[in-house]
Structure 1
Amino acid sequence: MHCIRTTGAVLLTLLAFSVSSKEKITKLSSAVGNFPPYVFCDDQQVRGIAVDLIQAIFGQQGVSVQFKCYPWARVYGLTREAVFDITLPYVRNEQREFDFHFVGPIIQNRVVLFHHKDRKFPELMSDISLEKLKKYKIGANLGYRYGKMMDDFDARYGLQWAKTSSQNYRKLILGRTDLYVSPYIVGHYERMQLPENEAKEITSLPDPIQTTDSFIIISKKHPRYPEISRLFLEGITKIKMTELIEKLSAKYQLPTPSAPGDSSGSK
């Protein structure tokens, strides 16, 4: 019975590939999780800056991308087993590099520290370091990674984890934490979902603690990774990335994130 189940699971995985090894790729599947404003998973069609960006890039190659939403842990597992062709947006780390090929980058993220506007942090206006941060309570969202500095901070001093951005903003307003770490675009979007009087109480430090690139990832088990990667890299050369990202940012009423290779960051 175990052999029958195993064989069935393998066949199901093979049938789930949206591309056949003998056919030209015209359609890709992507598992994603809710990550506004990059990915919106709600009652409407899956959308967001990252979703629209990927559709535009592959569209240049005559390839459509069909998105389906799951919890992020399941997104990772399904894509790792090549049930779905791609997922996004992901930053690099050692575990992910063991399981996936990284293709891109697609968007550059500025990781910043938000705070109550009445708090002043003169020592953090430049050259932010662990030594300068160690005396502060820093909020963070469960399930997120913010780069090496915050990994080290968490290991040494402990981040103040919460389930949502709104909970972290409430802690700032109540004075239970000093700072809240988030990608700027994500933090800005979530701040604007607060009641207007609360949103006005939140600002961010001017300099990022880290700038990271986000990528498409493809399982190392996927038999057509080279073709999918080539389609993406050829497609991205056919569009003006900076202009496209500016257009999508205006569509979603957001500040403009950086295109790959643009070091200017968001303002």
Structure 2
Amino acid sequence: MVAASSQVSANDGERFYIFTESYPPYNAAVTGQSFAHEAEDITGICTDMVKAMMSRLDYHFIMKMRDWSLAYNWVQGRENHGLFCTARTEERENEFQWVGPLASIEWTLFAAPDSDITLNSLDEARQYKIAGYKGDVMSDYLIDEGFDVIANVSGEQNPRRLTLGQADLWVTDGAVGPLIAEEKHGITGLKPVLVFRETPMYLAVSNETDPEVVEDLQSAIDEARAAGELSAILAEYTQ
């Protein structure tokens, strides 16, 4: 077991706060809602990986599911706070300390099942209206690059926007898109028209957290990976 830092040890009563969002199959509330207050009420690929990591530490931790934008802003500036699964990009590199990697996301543009849109490059998508959501790394990237993005607080309604003609494309992870479309709206057959990037996801830890804590967390996730736990978790959700 990794030795716990004095800042977040079981003995001194301090807590490590871990936030996530509803983003199945990586993170999901067992109730199907978009929020949760307890670790046992949250599941998913990244969630189970983080739990495997924390099981190797003598840390008290509290896990909550919240809106992504709220959680992202809340974690920054607060000691002993972390956020997962956070895409590690060049733009975000200095905003956090990073523990991982956990899983990876494929930046994918989906079209409606009856759409005839085809793309050979990302640049060809500039003529289309793209559904995304606020604070999402993929949506933010497209916005910064000048694409026409409808950025909403949540991405759960975006499959309906495709079928209703309110958007031509939806940017999301390749595994997340079809799952949300079917579970939330009964929509099947979304067309993945372009995968334009792949990014590893991490536990993003606030810069105010003691680096020794981050080292403990990294050692614990490395141990879980070496023991085969992370690959087993991924296989459980993807087979």
**Could you say which TM-score interval applies, normalised by the shorter chain?**
0.7 to 0.9
Q: Sequence identity, in percent?
A: 18
- Give, in whole Å, the separation in 1 of the partners of 2:191 and 2:73: 36
The yes-or-no answer on 1:213 pairing with 2:200 is yes
SS state at 2:50 partner: helix
- Residue in 1 aligned with 2:152? 162
Q: CA deviation at 1:95?
A: 5.4
Counterparts of 1:115-264 in structure 2 under 5 Å?
115-122=111-118, 124=119, 127-130=120-123, 132-146=124-138, 150-153=142-145, 155=146, 157-196=147-186, 199-200=187-188, 202-205=190-193, 207-223=194-210, 224-247=213-236, 249=237, 255=238
Taking structure 1 as the reference length, what is the TM-score of the superposition? 0.70
SS state at 1:114 partner: strand
- Give, in whole Å, the separation in 1 of the partners of 2:88 and 2:54: 22
> Is the 1:61–1:235 Cα contact (8 Å) retained in structure 2?
no
- Give, in whole Å, the separation in 1 of the partners of 2:155 and 2:75: 26
Q: How well do the aligned residues superpose, as a CA RMSD in angstroms?
A: 3.2
Report the structure number with the largest CA radius of gyration: 1
SS state at 1:81 partner: coil
The yes-or-no answer on 1:20 pairing with 2:9 is no
Change (3 A) 1:121 1:222: same
Question: Which amino acid letter does the alignment assign opposite residue 243 of structure 1?
Answer: A
Instruction: State the number of aligned residues.
Output: 224
> Is the 2:9–2:59 Cα contact (8 Å) retained in structure 1?
no
Q: CA deviation at 1:173?
A: 1.1
Change (3 A) 1:108 1:23: closer
Q: CA deviation at 1:240?
A: 4.5
> Is the 1:58–1:235 Cα contact (8 Å) retained in structure 2?
no
- Give, in whole Å, the separation in 1 of the partners of 2:64 and 2:157: 27
- Residue in 1 aligned with 2:42? 46
Moved more, 42-51 or 179-188: 42-51
Question: Which amino acid letter does the alignment assign opposite residue 180 of structure 2?
Answer: E
Q: CA deviation at 1:213?
A: 0.8
> Is the 1:19–1:28 Cα contact (8 Å) retained in structure 2?
no
- Give, in whole Å, the separation in 2 of the partners of 1:164 and 1:175: 18
1:175-223 per-residue CA deviation (whole Å, 9 max, x = no partner) reads 2321111112221221112443xx0353322x41111110111222212
- Residue in 1 aligned with 2:32? none
The yes-or-no answer on 1:96 pairing with 2:92 is yes
1:19-59 per-residue CA deviation (whole Å, 9 max, x = no partner) reads 52495899963331432312223477233221111112332
Taking structure 2 as the reference length, what is the TM-score of the superposition? 0.77
Q: Which blocks of at least 5 consecutive residues in structure 1 are unaligned?
A: 1-17, 250-254, 257-267
Question: Which amino acid letter does the alignment assign opposite residue 210 of structure 1?
Answer: R
Q: Which blocks of at least 5 consecutive residues in structure 2 are unaligned?
A: 30-34
SS state at 1:109 partner: strand
Change (3 A) 1:129 1:42: same
- Give, in whole Å, the separation in 2 of the partners of 1:63 and 1:22: 6
Q: CA deviation at 1:146?
A: 0.5
SS state at 2:21 partner: coil
Change (3 A) 1:48 1:117: same
More strand by share: 2
Q: CA deviation at 1:161?
A: 2.5
> Is the 1:60–1:238 Cα contact (8 Å) retained in structure 2?
no
Question: Which amino acid letter does the alignment assign opposite residue 202 of structure 1?
Answer: L
1:145-180 per-residue CA deviation (whole Å, 9 max, x = no partner) reads 217862444x2x421223433432222112232111
> Is the 2:108–2:173 Cα contact (8 Å) retained in structure 1?
yes
SS state at 2:6 partner: coil
